[in-house]
Amino acid sequence: EVQLVESGGGLVKPGGSLRLSCATSGFTFSDYTMHWVRQAPGKGLEWVSSISTSSSYLSYADSVKGRFTISRHNAKNSLFLQMSNLRAEDTAVYYCARVWVPTSGWPYLDFWGQGTLVTVSS
């Protein structure tokens, strides 16, 4: 059974840092591109970042570029998001998600974690 479990969320002051983790199981983690998606309270989904299988390609939303760093540890089946210089507008539930690319070639996010809440407040 595919499982993704986020952890590391919590309350942090503006300007502070936090590291999120996503522990995975039930699939060959090193074969999949992974993403982070967030959702502010009562708001819609916002794509945050992605990382390729070998960490060669990293992508970020403009809203987090220069402040967030995505990484992975394939041997430990884990995905990370290092967040620094946090702002109130970064308050959200953060989800990790796996990309599936069917033979047709149209990628989509097929499995998601349950999310971890990050609250940025003084």
Interacting residue ranges for other proteins, rule: CB under 8 A:
33, 35, 37, 44-47, 50, 52, 57, 59, 61-62, 95, 97, 99, 102, 104, 106-110, 112-115
Cβ at position 13, least distance to other proteins in Å? 26
Q: Which residue lies nearer to other proteins by CB, 23 or 99?
A: 99
Cβ at position 61, least distance to other proteins in Å? 8
Contacts of 56 (CB under 8 A, 6+ apart): none
